[in-house]
């Protein structure tokens, strides 16, 4: 039988245990509520368009907060994608010694922070454009397989004479990327663009502009001496700036020539005239006036002196731009808005828009813009 003293002691012990239990529960509730409040504030700041600090950006770079949506929820761009790609861009500019080339890249200054904001917007625009190209390609039943991506990487390495190990080290040091990052961010998008251009190239053959190019080509062939009259025809029919100079272009290395044009002329000899070449810019009929090897180049690269007739038409680039205007894009952060007429995102803040215009005008010598 318990005494009065022992009963009192038991009550005190019971109350103490209850008090301790209530204290832990309350503490956990407060901690959990504090974390939840912090997360809500974090998300609210992100979507308000507030300029984040580097520390907060590192948090946002690990969170899949939706930033933009292309056409449907299937094509979602997150803060993780945006900020990780921005960090890769920063790393690229910081890992290359542009100062030795007389160029400046410094994001630490007040002006540098503004340029970084512009670069961030450019990165987001590129992510949106990549998604639009994938969407357009898939609507044309165009797909890209992992095998095609692997082969494209292999072909690129073979052409450059590099190894997988060299590529992996270069990606890590320059961008902080893995090989899979490179495949998904660059190679896959390039293949989608290439295949979509091939589809576009086939469909442009039925347009009036292509028929116009055929008429011009026929005039060259039917002239008594087509090569001598190329200048006159270029002056009369070419729609490019080079028409003012009879279609003549300066000496150009292989790297300076549009890839599609280079493919169309690389087997031609001095004095030869190409077929109609379709590039992302339009249509070209090119005369090779001269070819020479670059002195001291171990790979025997060539320089070309060309003359062209350019027919503008609706270029692939213009077509993509028009498609961008028709595809619905939603922006979730208050910092940007989608400009349907331009087919790109712009700053919501008009002052930032003006500052961007100014720094782009004054960006000579700054490779980051």
Does residue 177 register a pLDDT over 70? yes
| Residue 255 structure tokens | 């790297």
pLDDT in tens, 90-109: 888 877 766 565 566 777 78
**pLDDT band at residue 160, thresholds of 50, 70 and 90?**
confident
Q: What pLDDT score does 339 carry?
A: 92
Question: How distant is the alpha carbon of residue 136 from its chain centre?
Answer: 16
Cα(141)–Cα(192) distance, integer angstroms: 11
Q: What pLDDT score does 297 carry?
A: 64
Cα(217)–Cα(143) distance, integer angstroms: 35
What does the pLDDT average to over 365-369? 63
**pLDDT band at residue 364, thresholds of 50, 70 and 90?**
low
Q: Contact 61/347 with Cβ under 8 angstroms? A: no
Q: Which of 97-101, 149-153, 179-183, 233-237 has the lowest mean pLDDT?
A: 97-101
CB atoms within 10 A of CB 285: 26
Residue that wins the pLDDT comparison between 359 and 41: 359
DSSP code for 171: H
pLDDT > 70 fraction of the chain, expressed in percent and rounded? 77
CB atoms within 10 A of CB 6: 10
Residues in the chain: 369
Q: What pLDDT score does 63 carry?
A: 73
Q: Which of 28-32, 138-142, 356-360 has the lowest mean pLDDT?
A: 28-32
Does residue 29 register a pLDDT over 80? no
Q: Which of 14-18, 55-59, 231-235 has the lowest mean pLDDT?
A: 14-18
Cα(111)–Cα(362) distance, integer angstroms: 11
**pLDDT band at residue 16, thresholds of 50, 70 and 90?**
very low
DSSP code for 273: B
C-alpha closest to that of 147 among 183, 182, 177, 195: 183
Q: Which of 1-15, 66-80, 106-120, 335-349 has the lowest mean pLDDT?
A: 1-15
What does the pLDDT average to over 285-291? 93
| Segments in the chain forming alpha helices (H) | 4-48, 54-60, 79-95, 110-139, 146-160, 164-174, 179-182, 188-203, 208-222, 226-237, 259-265, 316-326, 350-361
| Entry pTM | 0.73
């Amino acid at each position: 039988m318990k005494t009065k003293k022992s009963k009192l002691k038991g009550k005190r012990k019971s109350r103490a245990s209850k008090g301790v239990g209530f204290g832990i529960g309350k503490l956990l509730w407060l901690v959990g509520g504090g974390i939840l409040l912090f997360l809500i504030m974090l998300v609210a700041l992100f979507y308000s368009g507030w300029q984040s600090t580097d520390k907060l950006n590192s948090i946002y770079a690990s969170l899949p907060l939706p930033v933009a949506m292309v056409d449907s929820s299937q094509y979602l761009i997150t803060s993780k994608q945006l900020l990780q790609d921005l960090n890769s861009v920063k790393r690229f500019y910081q890992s290359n010694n542009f100062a030795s080339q007389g160029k400046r890249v410094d994001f630490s200054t007040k002006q540098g922070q503004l340029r970084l904001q512009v670069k961030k917007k450019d990165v987001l625009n590129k992510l949106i454009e990549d998604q639009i190209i994938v969407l357009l390609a898939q609507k044309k039943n165009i797909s890209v397989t992992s095998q095609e991506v692997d082969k494209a990487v292999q072909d690129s390495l073979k052409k450059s004479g590099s190894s997988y190990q060299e590529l992996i080290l270069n990606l890590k040091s320059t961008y902080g990327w893995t090989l899979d990052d490179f495949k998904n961010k660059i190679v896959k998008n390039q293949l989608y663009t290439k295949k979509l251009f091939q589809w576009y190239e086939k469909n442009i053959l039925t347009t009036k502009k292509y028929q116009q190019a055929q008429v011009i080509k026929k005039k060259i062939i039917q002239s008594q001496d087509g090569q001598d009259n190329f200048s006159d025809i270029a002056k009369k029919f070419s729609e490019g700036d080079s028409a003012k100079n009879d279609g003549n272009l300066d000496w150009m290395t292989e790297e300076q020539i549009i890839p599609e044009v280079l493919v169309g002329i690389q087997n031609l000899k001095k004095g030869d005239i190409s077929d109609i070449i379709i590039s992302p810019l339009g249509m070209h009929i090119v005369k090779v006036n001269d070819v020479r090897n670059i002195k001291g180049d171990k790979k025997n690269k060539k320089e070309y002196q060309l003359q062209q007739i350019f027919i503008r038409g609706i270029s692939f680039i213009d077509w993509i731009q028009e498609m961008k205007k028709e595809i619905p894009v939603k922006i979730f952060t208050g910092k940007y808005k989608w400009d349907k007429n331009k087919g790109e995102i712009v700053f919501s803040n008009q002052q930032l828009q003006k500052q961007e215009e100014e720094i782009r005008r004054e960006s000579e010598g700054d490779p980051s813009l």
